[in-house]
């Protein structure tokens, strides 16, 4: 059984007064296996963010099913959703979404506190993660005191501390300079090697080249996918670039 199964997901937005309907996702089907690092690529407006929101149970699809470990998350009640999100998913956002009022440590603790864990256990859990992400010395600092890359690493630590089944990352490198972005992505690679499943939405070929599989979305559908297999990052990067070129020049013929 796959970790995540997305079957025929469709999402239609209606404008406020029910007039115009906009189809964000027409028919998306794919699966993610345990331990994979999947990148989803597509242009602005291709439906990436909609898809991610549906996977995060922040939004509901108009049609179709999303199964996480065989459990359909589309039919969860409001109450179950937050607990589900807390237990099974870790989030990394483009703009970090750290709370200014908390130190990095407290920001990382946030999901654990919400889950009602004991503070001694939290302290134990944070140690290895902070070490791996090289933020041990920064834990007592506040978000406004550290750099963007450091903020994002704290956000990754927050996503990982609950040992989620799946980490969802939404343009995690979008607000970082190239050096910090590269560091973060290689960190994602390491985490993935330790067995963490990651699903990342991005439009950066550089970022996607770190993934073990890349899905391309166009006009609300999965248009194409590339497996890494034993390709180097460089090769992977070129393949992605080529695919993107085809995507943008509208090469329906190659599909």
Partner 1 sequence: MRRGFYSRLAATNIVKNKRTYIPYMLTSIGCIAMLYMMFFILQNEGMDTIPGGSHLQTIVSLGVAVICIFSFIFLLYSNSFLMKRRQKEIGLYNILGMEKGHIARMLFRETVYTSVISFIGGILVGILGSKLALLLLLKLAHMPAQFGFFVSILGIAASFFVFGGIFFLTLLLNLRRVHLSQPVELLRGSNVGEKEPKAKWFIALLGFICLGIGYYLAITTESPLQALGNFFIAVLLVMAGTYLVFTAGSIAVLKVMRWKKSFYYKTKNFTSISGMIYRMKQNAVGLASICILSTGVLLMLSTTVSLNFGMEDLMQTRYPYDVNFSFRNITLEEGEDIRNQVRKEAEELQIPYEQLVDEMTLTVSCIYEDNKIIFKNPEDIGDIQVDVVTVIPVSEYERIHGKDPGLSDGEILAFRERGNMGGELKIMDELFQVKEWLKEWPLQVDEIDLFGNAAIVVTKADYDKIYKLQREVYGEYASTMKYQFGMDVQGTKDEQITYAHKLIDPIMDYVHTKYKDGMKSGAAGISVEIRQEEYETFYSMNGGLLFLGIFLGGLFLMGAAMIIYYKQISEGYEDKERFEIMQKVGMSRKEVKSSIRRQILMVFFVPLLMAVLHIAMAFPLISRLLKLMSMANTHLFMICTVVTILFFAAAYAVIYSITARSYYKIVERVA
Per-residue x/- mask for partner 1, residues 39 to 68, rule CB under 8 A? -----------------x-x----------
C-beta of 10 vs 165, nearer to partner 1: 165
* Residue 85 touches partner 1, criterion: CB under 8 A: yes
Smallest distance from the beta carbon of 123 to partner 1, in angstroms? 9
Distance CA 14, CA 122 (A): 43
Residue 180: which of 201, 213, 204, 198 has the closest Cα?
Answer: 204
Binding mask 90-129 for partner 1 (x = CB under 8 A): -x-x---xxxxxx---x--xxxxxxxxxxx--x-------
**Contacts of residue 209, Cβ cutoff 8 Å, sequence gap at least 6:** 233, 236, 237, 240
What is the number of residues in the chain? 255
Of 201, 199, 172, 202, the C-alpha closest to 184 is 172
Whose Cβ is closer to partner 1: residue 22's or residue 114's? Answer: 114
| Total number of residues that touch partner 1 (CB under 8 A) | 34
Stretch that binds partner 1, among 15-23, 30-38, 44-52, 79-87 (CB under 8 A): 79-87
Binding mask 166-205 for partner 1 (x = CB under 8 A): ----------------------------------------
Helix, strand, coil percent values for the chain (each to nearest 5):
40, 25, 35
Alpha helix locations (H) across the chain? 48-55, 78-88, 104-114, 119-132, 148-160, 178-193, 205-208, 233-249
Q: Which residues lie near partner 1 (CB under 8 A)?
A: 56, 58, 78-79, 81-83, 85-86, 89, 91, 93, 97-102, 106, 109-119, 122, 142, 144, 158
């Amino acid at each position: 059984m796959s970790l995540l199964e997305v079957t025929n997901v469709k999402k239609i937005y209606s404008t406020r007064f029910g007039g115009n309907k906009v189809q964000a996702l027409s028919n998306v089907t794919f699966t993610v296996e345990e331990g994979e690092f999947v990148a989803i690529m597509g242009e602005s407006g291709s439906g990436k963010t909609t898809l991610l929101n549906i996977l995060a149970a922040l939004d509901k699809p108009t049609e179709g099913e999303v199964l996480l470990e065989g459990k359909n998350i589309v039919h969860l009640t409001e109450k179950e959703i937050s607990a589900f999100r807390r237990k099974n998913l870790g989030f990394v956002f483009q703009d970090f979404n750290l709370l200014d009022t908390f130190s990095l440590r407290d920001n990382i603790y946030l999901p654990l506190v919400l889950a009602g864990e004991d503070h001694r256990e939290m302290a134990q859990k944070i140690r290895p993660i902070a070490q791996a992400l090289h933020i041990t010395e920064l834990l007592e600092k506040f978000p406004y005191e550290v750099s963007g890359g450091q903020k994002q690493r704290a956000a990754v630590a927050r996503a990982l501390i609950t040992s989620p089944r799946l980490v969802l990352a939404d343009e995690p490198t979008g607000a970082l300079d190239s050096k910090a972005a590269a560091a973060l992505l290689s960190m994602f690679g390491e985490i993935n090697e330790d067995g963490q499943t990651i699903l990342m939405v991005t439009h950066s070929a550089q970022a996607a080249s770190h993934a073990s599989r890349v899905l391309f979305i166009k006009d609300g559908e999965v248009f194409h996918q590339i497996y890494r297999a034993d390709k180097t990052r460089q090769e992977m990067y070129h393949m992605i670039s080529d695919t993107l070129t085809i995507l943008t020049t509208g090469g329906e013929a190659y599909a």
